[in-house]
C-alpha cells in the first residue's frame, strides 16, 4: 500500500486530502455519496459561540472561473453543533460498520471564528473540554482532531478590523487560543496582505501547529443593468479555479517563511492542482468550491496523488512537500 499518510502539526491524516470549510457542510451531508476513507480529515463550516444568521440573499454569484460568496458565516453556534452533529458522526460510523467497513470516520477539523479574541478562546475551550472519542474502539484518535481558526472576520470588539490583517492582534489571538486548547491548532490566513511574513511569524511564535492558506479573496460583482451590486452584502469573497495560482504563490511564500506545516486550499479541482500545491510547500490540501459542481472531487484526489508519486519516484506523499525545482 502506498504511504499517503501525513502529520499536520499533530493531526495524523490517512491521506493528505480534506474538505475546505464552508463547502462541505458539517461533514454529514455527503456521507452517502462519497467514500470517506479517501479523506484524511473532514473540515466543517465555521462555528462561533452563538447561532449566527449570516448575510441576506442573494449571497453567492458565479463568475468566470469561480464564485463570489457572502454567506456571512451562518452557523448554529457551538452548543448546537456539539449536540446535533456528534450523534450524526456516530451514526455514520455505525453505517460504515454495517457496510463492512472499520467504523472509522476521518477526524474533524473544526473551523472556528468570533467577534473577539475571548470568543475564539471560549469556542476552542468548549471543543477541547470533552473528549469526543471515535466510535470505533480500535481508533485512538479523537473525533475532533484539530481546530482551524478563520481569522478573516472582523474584530468587532476592537474597531472592526479583520483579525488576520493586523499581525499584533493575530499574535494575541493565536496565543489566547493556544492557551485554551491542546488540540492541534491550524490558523487559516488571508491571502490579501502585501507580505505574509509578519503573519506566519505571529502564528509560529505564538504556538500554532499549522497554517492554512488561502481564504477567499475580497471581490465585488455589479449588475450593469440595474447598476446595483449583485450580492446583498455588496462585497464578497472570490474562490474557485481562478484563485488557484494565487494559492500556489501564497503557499510557496509561507513554506519559505515558516517551518509550520501547511494545509493548502484554493481552486483544487483535481489531483493535479493538489500536487501543484504540495510541490509549492503544502503538506495537505483541501477541496472547496469544486465540491459544488462535482461533489466526488475530494474523494478522487488521493488516488491521483498516489499515481503521480508512483510514476515520478516519490516513496511517500509527504515527500512532495516543497519539492518544486526553483
Ligand X SMILES: Cc1cc2nc3c(=O)[nH]c(=O)nc-3n(C[C@H](O)[C@H](O)[C@H](O)COP(=O)(O)O)c2cc1C
Distance in angstroms (rounded) separating the CA atoms of residues 214 and 268: 11
Integer Cα distance of 258 and 199 in angstroms: 10
Mapped onto helix, strand or coil, the DSSP state of residue 279 is: helix
Q: 268: cis peptide before it, omega within 30°?
A: no
SS3 content of the chain, % helix, strand, coil (to 5): 35, 20, 40
Q: Is the dihedral of CA 143, 149, 152, 153 positive or negative?
A: positive
- CB 238 → ligand X: shortest distance, Å? 8
Whole-angstrom distance, CA of residue 203 vs CA of residue 173 = 9
What residues contact residue 11 under an 8 Å CB cut-off, 6+ apart? 41, 107, 109, 145, 146, 184, 186, 209, 210
Give me the least distance between CB of 100 and ligand X, in Å please: 32
Q: How far is the CB of 112 from ligand X (least distance, A)?
A: 9
Is residue 254 within 8 A of residue 262, CB to CB? The reply is yes
As measured in angstroms, the least distance from the Cβ of 65 to ligand X is: 10
Dig out the grid coordinates for 320 from the structure.
512532495
Has 153 been annotated as catalytic? Answer: yes
CA 241/CA 238 separation, integer angstroms: 10
- Kindly tell me which of 22 and 106 has the beta carbon lying closer to ligand X: 22
Chain contacts with ligand X (rule: CB under 6 A):
20-23, 45-46, 67, 69, 71, 73, 111, 150, 188, 215-216, 239-240, 243, 265-268, 288-289
Q: Which of 61, 149, 153, 203 is catalytic?
A: 153
**Residue closer to ligand X (CB basis): 25 or 101:** 25
In the complex with ligand X, which residue's Cβ is closer, 111 or 306? 111
Name the nearest CA neighbour of 150 among 201, 177, 112, 206: 112
| Residue, CB closest to ligand X | 22
Closer CB to ligand X, 93 or 284, in the complex: 284
Residue 46 CB, nearest distance to ligand X (Å)? 3
Q: Which is nearer to ligand X, 117 or 212 (CB)?
A: 212
Which residues carry out catalysis?
A: 153
Amino acid at each position: 500500500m502506498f504511504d499517503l499518510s501525513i502529520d499536520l502539526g499533530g493531526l495524523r491524516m490517512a491521506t493528505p486530502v480534506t474538505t475546505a470549510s464552508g463547502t462541505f457542510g458539517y461533514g454529514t451531508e455527503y456521507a452517502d455519496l462519497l467514500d470517506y476513507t479517501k479523506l484524511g480529515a473532514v473540515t466543517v463550516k465555521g462555528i462561533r459561540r452563538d447561532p449566527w444568521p449570516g448575510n441576506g440573499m442573494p449571497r453567492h454569484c458565479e463568475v468566470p472561473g469561480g464564485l463570489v460568496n457572502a454567506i456571512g458565516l451562518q452557523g448554529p453556534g457551538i452548543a448546537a453543533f456539539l449536540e446535533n452533529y456528534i450523534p450524526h458522526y456516530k451514526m455514520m460510523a455505525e453505517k460504515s460498520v454495517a457496510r463492512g467497513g472499520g467504523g472509522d470516520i476521518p477526524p474533524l477539523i473544526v473551523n472556528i471564528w468570533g467577534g473577539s479574541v475571548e470568543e475564539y478562546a471560549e469556542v476552542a475551550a468548549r471543543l477541547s473540554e470533552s473528549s469526543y472519542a471515535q466510535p470505533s474502539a480500535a481508533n485512538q484518535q479523537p473525533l475532533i482532531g484539530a481546530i482551524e481558526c478563520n481569522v478573516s472576520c472582523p474584530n468587532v470588539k476592537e474597531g472592526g478590523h479583520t483579525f488576520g490583517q493586523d499581525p499584533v492582534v493575530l499574535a494575541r489571538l493565536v496565543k489566547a487560543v493556544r492557551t485554551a486548547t491542546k488540540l492541534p491548532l491550524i490558523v487559516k490566513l488571508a491571502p490579501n496582505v502585501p507580505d505574509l511574513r509578519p503573519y506566519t511569524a505571529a502564528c509560529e511564535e505564538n504556538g500554532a501547529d499549522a497554517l492554512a492558506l488561502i481564504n477567499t479573496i475580497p471581490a465585488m460583482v455589479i449588475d450593469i443593468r440595474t447598476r446595483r451590486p449583485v450580492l446583498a452584502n455588496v462585497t464578497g469573497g472570490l474562490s474557485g479555479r481562478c484563485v488557484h495560482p494565487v494559492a500556489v504563490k501564497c503557499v510557496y511564500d509561507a513554506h519559505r517563511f515558516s517551518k509550520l506545516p501547511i494545509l493548502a486550499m484554493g481552486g483544487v479541482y483535481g489531483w493535479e492542482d493538489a500536487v501543484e500545491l504540495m510541490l509549492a510547500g503544502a503538506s495537505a490540501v483541501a477541496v472547496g468550491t469544486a465540491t459544488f459542481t462535482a461533489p466526488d472531487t475530494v474523494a478522487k484526489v488521493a488516488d491521483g496523488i498516489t499515481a503521480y508519486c508512483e510514476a515520478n519516484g516519490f516513496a511517500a506523499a509527504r515527500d512532495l512537500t516543497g519539492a518544486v525545482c526553483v
